[in-house]
Amino acid sequence: MLTKRIIPCLDIKDGRTVKGINFIDLRDAGDPVELAAAYADKGADELVFLDISATEERRKTLADMVCHVAEKINIPFTVGGGISSVEDVDMLLKNGADKVSINSSAVKNPGLINELVAKFGSQCVVVAIDAKEIDGQWKVHLVGGKVPTDIDLFEWAKEVEERGAGEILFTSMNNDGTKNGFANKALAQLSDSLTIPIIASGGAGTMAHFADTFMIGKADAALAASVFHFNEIEISDLKKELNNQGIPMRL
């Protein structure tokens, strides 16, 4: 069995790491470069950086930050936020990113997935999907969760896979920041219907939540932010505990 991955997520706003609840009420969580270096030292399998307020004016700042992080870490990291073209991806990869995450731009222009896969390969392209369960239906949301759509999570995920994306990063907006556990039912449905890896995001609060998302949600990787940023869970301890439960980890 492939090892499962633990991935800290750094949400970046104005050059700082922030964390909110249900995508709002953001609070400062520290310097992204320092946090990245610390997570690499503590045994994180990968890092995800999301510029949650990306605009064209900030693109240079993000590229510079990627470069600084790449110098400090020796694990793969994914960068997302405002990416909408081959040129954007090219710049980030040249600055040291290993993968890119696209979200709203993929929904608005699904052909972008095909374009990026053709140019850089599937392994480089992660499609992030923010979705909210409303009256029993999971609907995709855009622009950092601010813009609802009528797009069904599972139909969109299937199209993403068919267009060649290498991974899906699914964030449950209902669970995000609540520390009540991941959206395991939806995750298991995604996992059963797709062949590409699924990264679970939104809701981590305890070590048991990570175990549940691997065993019940069938996730390939689990991403979290505040429990790591505020030292509520140590990554090395988490991975040992999961390994003891029979969930394969890179120790």
Q: What is the set of domains in the chain, with CATH numbers? A: 5-244 (3.20.20.70)
**The pLDDT of residue 135:** 94
Phi-psi group of 25: left, alpha or beta (phi > 0 → left; psi -120 to 50 → alpha; rest → beta): left
Q: Which residue has 């797709």 as its token pair?
A: 194
Phi-psi group of 173: left, alpha or beta (phi > 0 → left; psi -120 to 50 → alpha; rest → beta): alpha
**Residues annotated as part of the active site:** 11, 130
- The Cα 55–Cα 118 span in angstroms is 25
Per-residue confidence in pLDDT tens, the chain, 251 aa: 689 999 999 888 877 777 655 545 566 667 889 989 999 999 999 999 988 766 555 566 678 889 999 999 999 999 998 899 999 999 999 999 999 999 999 999 999 999 999 999 999 999 999 999 999 999 999 987 789 999 999 999 999 999 999 999 999 999 988 899 999 999 999 999 999 999 999 999 999 999 999 999 999 999 998 899 888 999 999 999 999 999 999 99
Identify whether the C-beta of residue 91 lies closer than 8 Å to the C-beta of residue 60. no
- The Cα 102–Cα 111 span in angstroms is 12
**The pLDDT of residue 19:** 61
Identify whether the C-beta of residue 90 lies closer than 8 Å to the C-beta of residue 54. no
Read off φ and ψ for residue 219, nearest 5 degrees.
Answer: -70, 155
